[in-house]
Structure 1
Amino acid sequence: HILYETAKDAISQYPHANGIVLTYPNYYGHAVDLKPIIEEAHQHDIPVLVDEAHGAHFVLGHPFPQSSLKAGADVVVQSAHKTLPAMTMGSYLHMNSRRINRDRLTYYLSVLQSSSPSYPIMASLDIARAYAEDIMKTNRTADIEKELINMREVFSQMNGAEIVEPADAGIQQDPLKLSVRSAYGHSGFELKSIFEANGIHPELADERQVLLVLPLEGKNKPAPELIRTIGKEIKDTAVQHDHPAGIGIPSEKVTAVPYRKSKLSAFKKESVPFAEAAGRISAEPVIPYPPGIPLIMAGERITKETISLLTRLVDLNVHIQGSNQLKQKQLTVYIEEEKS
């Protein structure tokens, strides 16, 4: 998650930035208070664009985290299909301030988007909007909260696993997202296989846990017998791994890139083994997915810690968005002038 101090540090290093892009919430449903971050950016007249892919339902209010629109974000994109009843690829784009030139935005949308949009997808977006509006008009959020609490309680009865909550008091957990970790040493990938064999399909798995996305109105709770069966399978297949603590990729301090993009483009590139990549400048982004958080950005100097984590992820067969050579433990790096 991005905390206020991290954002403030980034703004102080790049006070003339053209914009700030934030992901809110993260894939695990962790949400922080965006208002101070947005206010800090606005003091420097920097617009804030929020990728609220997993927060289209935040408009419903309590018990869900605050929508980034209410927090004052200038432009917000929501993937309605993730938590609302819209077809895949159905998304909303919200303009929320005059810091963004509407005509310019409209122009670029016309350039980049198809002139033949899918009307079934657009119709499903309107259905999803009407569904959310109906929940608010009929005051069903209190009932939804009760159902989600009940569903979390069902999973908490699983003897072989535990529900993972954010350790940081500054993080609010979206009640639709449920992280479950094995009490018997399974990786998230092994746990996912056990769940799927019993008809429960997690949204994602990582090194430590699986992530479940609960239905918005808490229906179709798994039967207690099924929960007991899964718990017994987890216990009967106990394994031992040396897992790192925490969820996902550890956060690092804001780093300034060594060269401007214009200078980088003049450098030649080469592929090197992971073992030789530490200290070099990456010529490609490396993004484990899910959760889609960049591990290495192009133009960033690679650290030993990053290589260690990347090696572990490749060994676990985690899907990584990047070049095909990553599977052969090779990275594309720039040849700096002083090294050429």
Structure 2
Amino acid sequence: MTEEREAAVGSPGPDPGPCAVERERGRLTGMAHRMLGTVSEAEEAVQEAYLRWYRLDRADRERVTNPAAWLTRVTSRICLDLLGSARARRERYVGPWLPEPVPEGAFPGAGGGWARSVAMAPAAEQPPDRVVVDEEVGTALLVVMESMTPAERVVFVLHDVFAVPFAEIALAVGRTPAATRQLARSARARLGSARRAPADRAEHARVVAAFAAACRGGDIERLVALLDPGAALRSDGGGVVRAARRPVRGARDIGRFLVGVLAKNPRVRLAPAATADGAGLLLVADGALVGVVTLDSRHGRVTEVWIQQNPAKLTRWPRLLPDGG
């Protein structure tokens, strides 16, 4: 049975109309971004789901009792297919592959929209070790999710992030509910330290501000003091712009690297930004965005530095910024 027919159940009703259906786009794009890691791929998946919706004839659309659930299911299947091919592409990627950072609240309706449109998972289905049900999912979690299989990633996003019931997920991934539960368990097992509670956002903002000040002042010792001894820095240029090909590890090496790079590029300045990870930084040169820096912090120290410089992964940020921005 095709995906179009699977969801077409119930007595015929009025066509919900394009406005009601289009309201789901933000939620679906946010969901797909968590599954795929880039906005362009997420938008591609969601657009394909909408094309399939509008290709249904009117009678079939009227038989779909819950268009939001239908679109979620179809988008998830498309993402599952895209993840299979994406893994091969990422193996050939130049340097570290990082997910695309997005501004805070980049996908309106990505969180609470599901609760309004589609039934939340019943209490009995809520796992005790569930990671998050939140509108924002940060870089740390997206990076770790790269270790998941495509099916694990789709199941994890649908259930642990969006609280979709396992019975509905099973239809999306073509597995039994019991198999989807097992996929969720194996996905959580891969998370490790990414499962810990996120840092307090106010404390994180203070750490980011101190980090930016030390970078601007070229203060290596202050940077070393702010960085966890086991910290790591990864930068993604995608082979398009110059970036470190390998992770930089250790507080002192990271401090030297950052101060050295900024000294060699005096036109680049740091500007504050609100990201899905909380406070972050923009890299700005002559009023144009050239990168986004997101950080993970614990107990007042920076544990991870992610620098996204690949222009194809800066699509949600304005390219031209105010002089004072």
TM-score w.r.t. length of structure 1: 0.30
Larger Rg, first or second structure (1 or 2): 1
Which structure carries more relative contact order (alpha carbon 8 Å, separation 6+)? 2
TM-score w.r.t. length of structure 2: 0.31
